[in-house]
Structure 1
Amino acid sequence: MKRIHVVFIVVLGLLLVASAGWGALSLYANDSKVPEDVTAGGIQLGGMEIDEAADLLTHYADSWEKQQIVVLANEALDSTDSREWTLKELGYHVDANSAIAALKKLEKGSLIDRTRYRHSFEKTLSINYSSDTEVFDDAVKKEWGWIDTSAPTNATRVITANDRVVYTPSTNAYRIDLTSLHNQVDPWIKEAQSSASVLAADLAALSTRGFHLPLPISIVEPEVTLEKLKAEGIDRMIMSFTTDFASSAEGRAYNVTSTAKALNDVELAPDEVFSYGKIVAATEKKYGYREAPVIQNGKLVPGIGGGICQVSSTLYNAIIRAGLDIVERRNHSLPVSYLPIGQDATFASGAIDFRFRNTTGKHLIIRTVVEDRKLTVKLFGTMPDNVRYDIESVTTSTIEPTIRETVSDTLPPGGRLITQQGKQGYVVETYRTLVRDGKVVSRERLSKDKYNAQPTLVSVGKGTETKGKLGPGASNDAEQAPIIEDGVGAQAPSA
């Protein structure tokens, strides 16, 4: 009996211990509170009722998305309108569902499952923040997208009919600077995320929290601003020179006019070298040249492009009076009627060019006007008002014409007939004098030119004794340049 009693006492004790263990296990598994030291996104949840903690996270996410961003239109737009959005409207979202689900799972499953789950419950739960920049950008553009439709306009420069240089300022365009907008908002958003535990303590205050900022606007400047355009130095008309072609036939007048059109509005950068050959080529391509007298081997003969040298010569006179440097220039082999000797500039395709350098230090614009059979070349740029250049040509010697005799079948023996009266040739030196404030500063020789004499042509009858003498200082045919001056086309072969 004594042994049976002992066994009973032991069994009863074991039953009592087991009963107490299951009770403690049941209490642990059915605990309605969140395990200690548990946080979700920095929010302290440990020790809170599970439902209370889940509600807190739900209300936190809702309140966080209700925070506001207020954008005030930039002062540059002369506008004070503003627009406010909630974070949710701008594409920002908070997802606490996984943390809430984890909390709710503490109440689900068997006693053993709940025990095991609570025992291994994560101390740190995640709250996921997300954003959609396209939603943000679209919202801003919908409000102020008209700003991006503007376009910058370049400053302009116009030379009027009365030779005034008129400038029109440029205008800027504006663009919404979305990158700058995000750069300002993003740190505030990150601060709101990192301060979650503080914010969750006052959900009412969280939902009214906001961030105010001006609408960032970037300026789009035009390619050509007024300052940049004026810096080119086209201040005024610095020189003008006119020649007359009233006596020219239609073909020559057409050539002069067409070449002047091609030359009009040519602009040279500082130190740029101008080539007249390019103007002739451009004229030939765009307008074509007509038949007019040209100079070949010291004679006026029919050709194509006659008259083009009146344009180069008129330009030459404007250039030397503006003080620019001449790179390449030759006089005609014969004097021209529209300019003093020593002050012309010929051209021959592939043989002679007229070139000068823009030494004004600023840009230079060439303008041409053809009116009433007069050609005017105008230069616009920079030149001191107290400076002028005087041009003087001096004949240093003359060249007497030769006498050329040819036998004529129509003249009697001993008969002589002058068919062309000869003309003198000249050697000319041209000087340029720099005058500043009315005082001579320097004088330089620009050129020394030779104009060939034109021979006297005489027809004689058969049997007539010919003189066959050359006039003093005259040149023979071999000295004549075998080129076509004042025209275009292939050059004549050398004699």
Structure 2
Amino acid sequence: MYKYKLAHKFTLILSLLIILMLTTGMQKPNNNFNGNIFKNIYIEQINVGKLKVNEAKEIIEKKYSPKTIYIKYNDKTWTINPSDIDLDYNIDDAVKKAYSYTRSDSKFENIKRKCDLEINKPYNIDLLATYNEYKLSKIISTIQEQINKNVQQATIQISDSGQITTTPSKEGIEVDISSLKEQIYDMIKSKSLKDIQLPIKIIKPTITTEHVKSINSVLGQFSTSFNDHSARGSNIYVAGKSTSDILIMPSDLFSYNKATGARTWSNGYKTAKVIVGGRYINGEGGGVCQVSTTIYNAALISGLDIVEVHNHTYPSHYVAKGRDAAVSYGYIDLKFKNNFAHPIYIKNIVSNGAITSKIYGHSKDREKLYIKTQESRDKDNIIVKTYRVFLGEENNKIREELVSENKYKIKK
């Protein structure tokens, strides 16, 4: 029985080959789509063999007509109609391709294809989904405008009198564009359109309400005096303001030069005496080292991690030896790190010929310590070692650290 069926199928194929070969050159390709699609041809795994073009199109459209996409978030719903993004599965092209598969310009190719189809080698055509990317992006941008909310960092402001004012932080919301587009792309590609829950990202503030609320006391402060009615005094006001009201988060670094920027006329600085190469000359920004020194001592007393500090060529008149912090924009800087678990806040108060720098923070971070210096002489130099001594609850010394070793020239 099996041999009979095999022989019968072989006979049919042979007969088909003979007929097709005999008619080669006698027929022209039929492109009016009036006939039937050849057997064993599929579109998206749906058998459209032996059907007319309009019949095949009707069957495919019943399952694969583009549908509306609904994007939902809370009580909001956005609709994307197929026409909004020019979504098309190109069913007409697929059906015509199915019809024309055995009606190509090459008769021999047609014979080969028909033979394959006759012996149950089906041919499947995938629908090609196309859409307008620009129009889709424009719709998503509209959704973004309605949903996205900027993150709000908590803020803190401390007045000269020490009054603390804070504003709370708020989380930000933004549409996860990559995730949304990927879902839409996958749905279009798989031709399975369904509702989408709008993917969003919650943007956490880096400065939270808890951070600013933790600042409740002065960790350390230091003051120096100056001539209020001078160019140097004017520079101290400018530098004091630019390095004040700065919040430094845990593990972050404070850079004096970064806070002030270049000490130029355009930034409000005047010409005053500065030390260059061991000599006093007129230069822009004279006086800024007194501000850096004042801040340095407040940081030193607060127990902050001193990362970079330099002394002047000669001892300063406004602070003890070993306690100064020379700065020069682009060359040497004052840097310290917030080594506490809570943020700190720098507040400078410049008034009536005095500058006071206060470091605010959490009361639990306050250290009991004192600063000591050891002075010695080396030919024409004064050597000063600056130490920070930390104390326990009963004022017993816990540890001692060398902060800096300073070398000053002796004036002759």
TM score, norm. by length of structure 1 = 0.51
2:305 and 2:87 map into 1 onto residues whose CA distance is 67
State the Cα distance separating 1:253 from its structure 2 match.
1.5
1:345 and 1:185 map into 2 onto residues whose CA distance is 69
Q: What pairs up with 1:47-86 in 2 under 5 angstroms?
A: 56-65=55-64, 67=65, 69-75=67-73, 77-80=74-77
Task: List alignment gaps of at least 5 residues for structure 2.
Answer: 1-18, 20-34, 104-110, 377-381
Q: What pairs up with 1:79-158 in 2 under 5 angstroms?
A: 79-80=76-77, 90-94=87-91, 95-97=94-96, 99=98, 123=118, 128-135=125-132, 145-149=141-145, 153-158=150-155
Contact 2:315 2:321 in 1 (8 A): no
1:316 and 1:323 map into 2 onto residues whose CA distance is 11
State the Cα distance separating 1:79 from its structure 2 match.
1.9
2:311 and 2:139 map into 1 onto residues whose CA distance is 69
State the Cα distance separating 1:318 from its structure 2 match.
0.5
Aligned counterpart, 1:250:
230
Aligned equivalent of 1:377, options 357, 365, 383? 357
Contact 1:311 1:375 in 2 (8 A): yes
2:399 and 2:101 map into 1 onto residues whose CA distance is 101
Say whether residues 1:219 and 2:200 are aligned partners: yes
Aligned counterpart, 1:434:
390
Contact 2:48 2:56 in 1 (8 A): no
Aligned counterpart, 1:22:
none
Aligned counterpart, 2:186:
183
Contact 2:349 2:355 in 1 (8 A): yes
Letter in 1 for 2:95: A
Say whether residues 1:323 and 2:322 are aligned partners: no
Aligned counterpart, 2:15:
none
Say whether residues 1:345 and 2:324 are aligned partners: yes
Letter in 2 for 1:388: E
Could you say what secondary structure the match of 2:303 adopts? coil
Contact 1:394 1:429 in 2 (8 A): yes
Give CA-to-partner distance per residue, 1:296-332, whole Å, 9 cap, x none. Answer: 999xx88556543431331122011111344545489
Task: List alignment gaps of at least 5 residues for structure 1.
Answer: 1-24, 26-33, 106-115, 190-210, 398-425, 452-478, 483-494
State the Cα distance separating 1:70 from its structure 2 match.
4.7
Provide the aligned C-alpha RMSD in A.
5.5
Contact 2:226 2:353 in 1 (8 A): yes
2:101 and 2:384 map into 1 onto residues whose CA distance is 109
2:296 and 2:398 map into 1 onto residues whose CA distance is 20
Letter in 2 for 1:291: A
Deviates more, 1:77-86 or 1:153-162: 77-86
Contact 1:258 1:283 in 2 (8 A): no
Letter in 1 for 2:390: L
Distance 1:142 1:127, change over 3 A: farther
Contact 1:262 1:282 in 2 (8 A): no
1:146 and 1:254 map into 2 onto residues whose CA distance is 51
Q: What pairs up with 1:233-382 in 2 under 5 angstroms?
A: 235-236=214-215, 239-243=219-223, 245=225, 247-264=227-244, 282-284=262-264, 286-291=267-272, 307-326=287-306, 327-330=308-311, 336=317, 341=320, 344-345=323-324, 347=326, 355-358=334-337, 360=339, 366-379=346-359
Distance 1:163 1:284, change over 3 A: farther
Give CA-to-partner distance per residue, 1:438-481, whole Å, 9 cap, x none. Answer: 65452637689999xxxxxxxxxxxxxxxxxxxxxxxxxxx953
Aligned counterpart, 1:173:
174
2:122 and 2:386 map into 1 onto residues whose CA distance is 98
2:138 and 2:332 map into 1 onto residues whose CA distance is 62
Give CA-to-partner distance per residue, 1:71-121, whole Å, 9 cap, x none. Answer: 33223x5324656659x9731132424555799x9xxxxxxxxxx9xx989
Distance 1:58 1:349, change over 3 A: closer
Aligned counterpart, 2:5:
none
Letter in 1 for 2:174: A
1:219 and 1:72 map into 2 onto residues whose CA distance is 16
Deviates more, 1:120-129 or 1:431-440: 120-129
Give CA-to-partner distance per residue, 1:325-354, whole Å, 9 cap, x none. Answer: 4454548956746x5x4574153869x967
Give CA-to-partner distance per residue, 1:376-408, whole Å, 9 cap, x none. Answer: 323356x661632343669999xxxxxxxxxxx
Aligned counterpart, 1:404:
none
Could you say what secondary structure the match of 2:367 adopts? strand
Letter in 1 for 2:56: L
Contact 1:332 1:346 in 2 (8 A): no
Letter in 2 for 1:391: Y
State the Cα distance separating 1:288 from its structure 2 match.
3.1
Could you say what secondary structure the match of 2:172 adopts? coil
Contact 2:148 2:173 in 1 (8 A): yes
TM score, norm. by length of structure 2 = 0.59
Could you say what secondary structure the match of 1:213 adopts? coil
2:406 and 2:54 map into 1 onto residues whose CA distance is 109
Q: Which has the larger radius of gyration?
A: 1
1:216 and 1:159 map into 2 onto residues whose CA distance is 38
Contact 1:92 1:129 in 2 (8 A): no
2:47 and 2:258 map into 1 onto residues whose CA distance is 84
Give CA-to-partner distance per residue, 1:32-85, whole Å, 9 cap, x none. Answer: xx99x9333166678xxx7x75663243244345x463533223x532465665
Could you say what secondary structure the match of 1:168 adopts? coil
Distance 1:254 1:63, change over 3 A: same
Give CA-to-partner distance per residue, 1:208-242, whole Å, 9 cap, x none. Answer: xxx562225343566xx31x445997752653525
